[in-house]
Amino acid sequence: MSILSKLYLLVTIILAIACESIPEVDTNLNQDSIPEYQLFISDSFGVEIGDSLHMIGSIQNICHHPNGSVLLLDRTVLCLRVVPRNGNAYRILRNGEGPGELLGPQGLCVLGDGRILIPDMYKRQIMTYDEQGAYLGAYYPSDGKPPTQIFPVDSSSIVGIMFDNKMVDEEPQLCYSLDRYNSSIEPSVNYYLLNFEVTGWDESVRAIDALDFYASREGHVYIAKDFTEYKIDVYKPDGMLWYQIENIVERLQKTDEQIQNEIQEYEEFAVNDASYSGGYQPPLYTQLISIIGVDSDGFLWIQRYDFETGYHFDLWDSSGTQVHTAYLPNIATNIEIQFLIDEYGMIGAVVDSDDYPRLYYIDIE
């Protein structure tokens, strides 16, 4: 995803810190001694090249529903597509200004009780639906920006990221934070906080652009503060640091052309910002890892980008020990795939709007 795209999403995301005893982690792992899972595509949904059947506008988010279906937020058509594992796909929700209709959806998740949550930037709330798509009202009363990129925790709580003014020392300051919400506009736990007043605009933008996180159903929060390095902090539901993962992997240097393109994109975005004085410098390294999720066995899946072919994943247990790797051969060349794994299984989606949007079911041989 480009710097420009991430700056647009920056208008709704968050994270924070704490600490406790941390188990020692062996960073000198012998990859040859770690068992490898072989992954394969067992089914898919979406268009084939030259076929208009099941045409998807563009995929913004995907997630599992406890009833066995996959939900797909189509940001072009402004609808929610329900894709049963066995059966015909159908749409629920629609665009509009009425109650429960979509205007600017920014995220998607499903609580343990089956309720569907969609934060909408223009509606200024997190809208809640039952599994048939009936509007149930707001997740909490809100007249401001809702958190985005949300993940479900138990049957009623979420972890989400927020970009908004916060009161710091009794003064409103622009912050980017990751919090837990328990059906209330006031967060109950903070896991990460980035204060623009302290860090500065350019440094804050670089920090946000390199940030990745995930929250499991059990309420554990996984944060990569800089995904150009192989370092992940794992927090307990109460915000205390549980353990850390660190792997010695060489970072991926950007080319001069990549850096110049990112500078140009940023300056085109900031051309009307009177506070921008020029001289923006993007990070020197490209994305090395992303946090995919936690599976039904409690293993954390981390995707790695330092391989030339296929999709590679590292699996870590709750002691901070790597226990497996996994490999999926290339689905296609030069396309961007967003993966997700949770207690219901693994799925992937083509999210680049220049390609044919498509959903993939992924299984282990």
Q: Where are the domains of the chain?
A: 3-364
Contact 192, 166 (CB under 8 A): no
Q: What is the token pair recorded at 246?
A: 């660190």
What pLDDT sits at residue 22? 39
Q: What is the pLDDT of residues 20-59, one digit of tens each?
A: 333 444 444 455 678 999 999 999 888 654 445 557 888 9
Question: Residue 335's closest CA among 316, 320, 348, 319?
Answer: 348
Q: Which residue numbers in the chain have pLDDT < 50?
A: 1-29, 49-51
What pLDDT sits at residue 357? 86
Give, in degrees to the nearest 5, the angle at Cα 71 between 120 and 188: 50
Whole-number Å distance between alpha carbons of 197 and 208: 14
Whole-number Å distance between alpha carbons of 106 and 88: 26
What pLDDT sits at residue 25? 41
How many CB atoms lie under 10 A from the CB of residue 333?
6
* DSSP β-bridge partners for residue 326: 37, 313
Question: Residue 190's closest CA among 217, 218, 213, 210?
Answer: 213
pTM of the model: 0.86
Distances in Å between the alpha carbon of 130 and those of 110, 112, 115, 136, 192?
Answer: 10, 12, 5, 7, 31
> Which parts of the chain fold into alpha helices (H)?
3-9, 196-199, 201-209, 256-269
Contact 64, 81 (CB under 8 A): no
- The fold adopted by the segment(s) 3-364 is Neuraminidase (2.120.10)
What pLDDT sits at residue 192? 96
**CA neighbours closer than 13 Å in the CB half-sphere of residue 353:** 11
Whole-number Å distance between alpha carbons of 137 and 117: 10
Three-state secondary-structure class, residue 201? helix
